[in-house]
């Protein structure tokens, strides 16, 4: 392992707790459960998501507005319109929002609306982007590259931290292998290792790892059991209608049930799950 001066644990370095909002944190004893669609599609879709998830033990919402799609002909995201939708549900339901930043030119705009900026797998080694995010005043959710070693993952986080941003959350989301049954292979060994060698929060994305919704709940449980600080899971009001990653999306009901089912596992490993904000919108939408 190369010298990662800021990311690696030292005896003097306490565990990092990252604040997503005034009340939502990750890295402490409370687990972070994030739910939401792959992509923000419409205001009504996000309203349905936030309204349901706010009542469950879910603390933050995800949704991409700039989407890294394999095909340039596929839906690329709503951009600024999507950011406004995210900020609107955040303000009304009290759930911080996470969205992906793909380019340096998007940082300022996204930071004005979102609470956490996600670096997707395909950009984990976009070093100029990582350096620029070191200057951002928002937490960064750094996803492991499609075929990145643990060392490369740690060094990518080191780029962000060494450029001034201490608020980095690591996310294991599966790595490429030979098997095609699952989309990727969820590397829980990396989660255990990262918790041992770094002081940063480590969360798990079982959705992009599995690629199949029926595998997601048990992988989420395994993630919490092995010491992850949280999970980020894709869900949708009408999973089959999702414009992207439909096959792995849970229904909102399944998402809430999954979050509730983590309770005994959390207890067994000495973690707590904060109940939902239960917030009702402060004014009606549209």
Structure tokens belonging to residue 264: 């005994």
Q: Would you say 6 and 158 are in contact if contact means Cβ atoms under 8 Å apart?
A: yes
> CB neighbours (10 Å) of residue 253?
12
Nearest Cα neighbor of 168 from 136, 201, 204, 125 is: 201
Q: By rule CB under 5 A, what count of residues binds Mn ion?
A: 2
Rounded Cα distance, 256 and 214, in Å: 15
Least distance between ligand PEP and beta carbon 80 (Å): 18
Nearest Cα neighbor of 198 from 265, 234, 153, 255 is: 153
Least distance between Mn ion and beta carbon 207 (Å): 7
For ligand PEP, the closer of residues 121 and 167 by Cβ is 121
Q: By rule CB under 6 A, what count of residues binds ligand PEP?
A: 10
115 binds Mn ion (CB under 5 A): no
Q: Would you say 61 and 52 are in contact if contact means Cβ atoms under 8 Å apart?
A: no
Q: Which residue is nearest to ligand PEP (CB)?
A: 120
102 binds Mn ion (CB under 5 A): no
41 binds Mn ion (CB under 5 A): no
> CB neighbours (10 Å) of residue 70?
7
Residue from 208, 213, 221, 236 in contact with ligand PEP (CB under 6 A):
208
For Mn ion, the closer of residues 144 and 271 by Cβ is 144
Residues between 232 and 261 that touch Mn ion (CB under 5 A): 245
For Mn ion, the closer of residues 79 and 227 by Cβ is 79
Residue from 173, 183, 236, 271 in contact with ligand PEP (CB under 6 A):
173
Least distance between Mn ion and beta carbon 112 (Å): 23
Name the CA dihedral angle for 166, 116, 194, 233, rounded to a multiple of 10 degrees: 170
38 binds ligand PEP (CB under 6 A): yes
Q: Would you say 97 and 89 are in contact if contact means Cβ atoms under 8 Å apart?
A: yes
158 binds Mn ion (CB under 5 A): no
Least distance between ligand PEP and beta carbon 270 (Å): 28
The per-residue DSSP string of 22-79 comes to SS-EESSSB-EEEEE-SB---HHHHHHHHHHHTTTT--EEE-BSS---SSTTS----T
Residue from 35, 36, 64, 82 in contact with ligand PEP (CB under 6 A):
64
Question: Could you list the residues that contact ligand PEP (CB under 6 A)?
Answer: 38, 64, 68, 120-122, 143, 173, 205, 208
């Amino acid at each position: 392992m190369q010298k990662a001066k800021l990311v690696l644990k030292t005896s003097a370095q306490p565990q990092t707790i990252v604040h997503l909002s005034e009340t939502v944190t990750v890295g402490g004893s409370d687990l972070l459960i994030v739910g939401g669609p792959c992509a923000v599609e419409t205001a009504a879709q996000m309203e349905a998501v936030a309204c349901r998830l706010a009542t469950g033990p879910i603390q933050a919402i995800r949704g991409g507005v700039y989407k890294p799609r394999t095909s340039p002909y596929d839906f690329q995201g709503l951009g600024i319109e999507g950011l406004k939708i995210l900020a609107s549900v955040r303000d009304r339901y009290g759930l911080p929002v996470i969205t992906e930043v793909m380019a340096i030119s998007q940082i300022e705009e996204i930071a004005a609306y979102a609470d956490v900026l996600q670096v997707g797998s395909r950009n984990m080694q976009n070093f100029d982007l990582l350096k620029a995010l070191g200057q951002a005043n928002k937490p960064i959710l750094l996803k492991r590259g499609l075929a990145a070693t643990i060392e490369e993952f740690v060094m990518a986080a080191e780029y962000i931290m060494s450029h001034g941003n201490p608020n980095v959350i690591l996310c294991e989301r599966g790595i490429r292998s030979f098997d095609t049954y699952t989309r990727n292979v969820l590397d829980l060994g990396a989660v255990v290792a990262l918790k041992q060698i770094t002081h940063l929060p480590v969360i798990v994305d079982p959705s992009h790892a599995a690629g199949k919704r029926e595998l997601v709940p048990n992988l989420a449980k395994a993630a919490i059991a092995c010491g992850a600080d949280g999970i980020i899971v894709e869900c949708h009001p009408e999973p089959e209608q999702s414009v992207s990653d439909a096959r792995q999306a849970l229904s909102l009901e399944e998402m809430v049930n999954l979050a509730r089912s983590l309770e005994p596992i959390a207890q067994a490993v000495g973690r707590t799950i904060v109940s939902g904000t239960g917030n009702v919108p402060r004014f009606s939408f549209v």
